[in-house]
């Protein structure tokens, strides 16, 4: 249902309404409610000291019908559904049409309703005496409402570094500072319904551990579908918009079958074993499943050099059997039309399909796209150098 709503939201209100009518309001409502709660991070509010308690009711409506869920937040955490005990202050009610909610969550930014949701605060007979005479209104009373309203207005998109820390991936911190580069290379895709595939879910053999970067991408790309590939079974981490697949990245058949089912992808990231033969096999297998203008990222390039940890080598930095040497050959491929002698290099399948490469500390980005400009001066130098008054190469 999530995928159907994202696709419908891309097409507009009428398609979302048709999807809701087909499945029924109750059949659809859990999807946007789940998404709102994922993005609102109410658990962070629950962890605040002395913030008290707050509760709200999210009501979704469609064609005269409505469905609601009660959300209570307090020192004990976030509770969905019936509260353990009555709230000190009655819950605030946030009312939104289910189509408007789906468009705000999954549609292009211009479809987010400027009116926002309706907020029904508790009765003034309860609130005014408290506000005038006390006891003070707990901080969470406003905070929980504000977080959900922000989500429905799609305001305040977080920086990727903030999301990395929030979701517990090492893409920013003591070990790596990758998020600044990801933000630069992926920022323009943020509001698109992208498909992103990351090799390496995290947590290694523990089936319940890891998934930090998958949740980070889910939040960074509010309309994105996120696929995680790991040699270990990570299905326990599957969530709406996050699907994990068990596959060894050194096994081309397993990767191909995953990509046939879930691709093509707008973004592929290799953060798996970091062993050069695995990285190279994955690139060769999955690059064809990247869309035109898609981006392929390879993390932790240090694996290319370290014999003790990733069977790397520093002996010949241009050796294409190792990740960095392999990528360096593609740098020459960007200029494949400029070589004068046939024997200078062997043509590679990606010469014409890689249009850009960017290298940072331990991180490379490879941009897919047409690389056929013609190389007019090289062709004159090869075929008719006398036009330029120079000699041909022997």
Please identify, among the stretches 78-86, 106-114, 225-233, 341-349, the one whose residues bind ligand SAM according to the rule CB under 6 A. Answer: 225-233
Q: How far is the CB of 9 from ligand SAM (least distance, A)?
A: 28
**Selected binder of ligand SAM within 104, 149, 231, 279 (CB under 6 A):** 231
Catalytic residue among 167, 176, 181, 274: 274
Task: For the segment 131-170, give every residue that binds ligand SAM (CB under 6 A).
Answer: 169-170
Least Å distance, CB 189 to ligand SAM, is 18
Site for ligand SAM in 172-211 (CB under 6 A): 198-204, 210
In the block, which residue shows the tokens 């918009």?
241
In three-state secondary structure terms, 208 is coil
Considering the complex, state which of residue 165 and residue 378 has its C-beta at the smaller distance from ligand SAM. 165
Dihedral-angle region of residue 44 (phi above 0 means left; psi in -120 to 50 means alpha; beta otherwise) = alpha
Is 274 a catalytic site residue?
yes
- Is 42 a binder of ligand SAM (CB under 6 A)? no
In Å, what is the CA distance from 11 to each residue of 19, 21, 76, 115, 130? 11, 16, 41, 20, 47
Q: Which is nearer to ligand SAM, 72 or 250 (CB)?
A: 250
Task: Out of 57, 232, 334, 357, name the contact with ligand SAM by CB under 6 A.
Answer: 232
Interacting residue with ligand SAM among 100, 219, 230, 266 (CB under 6 A)? 230
Nearer of residues 202 and 263 to ligand SAM, judged by Cβ: 202
SS3 97: strand
Place of tokens 């062709």: 379
Find the shortest distance in angstroms from Cβ 76 to ligand SAM.
28
Diameter of the chain measured on Cα atoms? 96
Quick one: 197 or 381, whose CB is closer to ligand SAM? 197
The answer to whether 148 and 41 have CB atoms below 8 angstroms apart is: no
Nearest-angstrom CA–CA distance, 227 and 119: 36
Gap between the Cα atoms of 196 and 270, Å rounded: 11
**Cis before residue 135, ω within 30 degrees of 0?**
yes
Q: Is 311 in the site for ligand SAM (CB under 6 A)?
A: no
| The two three-digit tokens of residue 217, written as one number | 């991408």
Q: Which of 111, 195, 223, 278 binds ligand SAM (CB under 6 A)?
A: 278
Of 308, 245, 300, which is closest to residue 278 (Cα–Cα)? Answer: 300
How far apart, in Å, are the Cα atoms of 246 and each of 116, 201, 234, 254, 297?
41, 10, 7, 9, 20
Least distance between ligand SAM and beta carbon 106 (Å): 24
Is there binding between residue 213 and ligand SAM (CB under 6 A)? yes
The answer to whether residue 250 forms part of the interface with ligand SAM (CB under 6 A) is yes
Is there binding between residue 218 and ligand SAM (CB under 6 A)?
Answer: no
Counting every residue written for the chain, the total comes to 394
Q: How far apart are CA 376 and CA 380, in angstroms?
A: 6
CB neighbourhood size of 45 (10 A): 19
Rounded to a whole number of angstroms, the minimum distance from the CB of residue 203 to ligand SAM is 5
Which residues of this chain interact with ligand SAM, rule CB under 6 A? 169-171, 198-204, 210, 212-213, 229-232, 248-250, 271-273, 278
Q: Annotated catalytic sites, by residue?
A: 274
């Amino acid at each position: 249902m999530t995928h159907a709503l994202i696709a419908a939201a891309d097409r507009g209100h009428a398609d979302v309404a048709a999807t809701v009518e087909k499945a029924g309001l109750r059949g659809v409502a859990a999807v946007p409610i789940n998404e709102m709660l994922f993005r609102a991070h109410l658990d962070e509010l629950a962890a605040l000291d002395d913030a008290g308690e707050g509760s709200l009711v999210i009501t979704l409506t469609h064609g005269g019908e409505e469905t609601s869920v009660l959300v209570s937040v307090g020192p004990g955490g976030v509770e969905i559904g019936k509260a353990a005990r009555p709230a000190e202050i009655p819950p605030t009610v946030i009312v939104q049409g289910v189509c408007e909610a789906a468009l705000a969550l999954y549609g292009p930014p211009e479809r987010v309703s400027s009116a926002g949701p309706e907020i029904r605060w508790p009765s003034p007979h309860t609130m005014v005496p408290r506000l005038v005479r006390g006891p003070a209104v707990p901080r969470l009373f406003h905070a929980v409402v504000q977080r959900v309203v922000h989500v429905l207005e799609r305001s305040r998109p977080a920086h990727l570094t903030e999301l990395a820390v929030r979701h517990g991936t090492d893409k920013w911190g003591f070990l790596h500072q990758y998020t600044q580069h990801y933000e630069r290379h992926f920022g323009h895709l943020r509001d698109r319904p992208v498909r992103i595939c990351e090799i390496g879910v995290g947590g290694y053999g523990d089936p319940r551990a890891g998934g930090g970067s998958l949740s980070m991408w889910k939040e960074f790309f509010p309309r994105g579908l996120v696929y995680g590939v790991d040699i270990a079974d990570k299905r326990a981490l599957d969530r709406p918009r996050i699907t994990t697949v068990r596959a060894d990245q050194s096994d081309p058949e397993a990767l191909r079958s995953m990509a046939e089912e879930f691709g093509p992808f707008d973004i592929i990231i290799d953060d798996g074993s970091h062993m050069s033969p695995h990285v190279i096999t994955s690139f060769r297998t999955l690059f064809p499943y990247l869309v035109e203008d898609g981006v392929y990222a390879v993390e932790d390039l240090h694996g290319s050099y370290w014999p003790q940890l990733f069977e790397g080598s520093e002996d010949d930095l241009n050796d294409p059997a190792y990740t960095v040497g392999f990528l360096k050959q593609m740098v020459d491929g960007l200029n494949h039309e400029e070589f004068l002698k046939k024997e200078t290099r062997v043509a590679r399948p990606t010469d014409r399909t890689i249009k850009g490469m960017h290298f940072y500390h331990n991180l490379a980005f490879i941009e897919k796209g047409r690389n056929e400009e013609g190389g007019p001066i090289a062709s004159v130098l090869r075929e008719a150098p006398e036009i330029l008054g120079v000699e041909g190469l022997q």
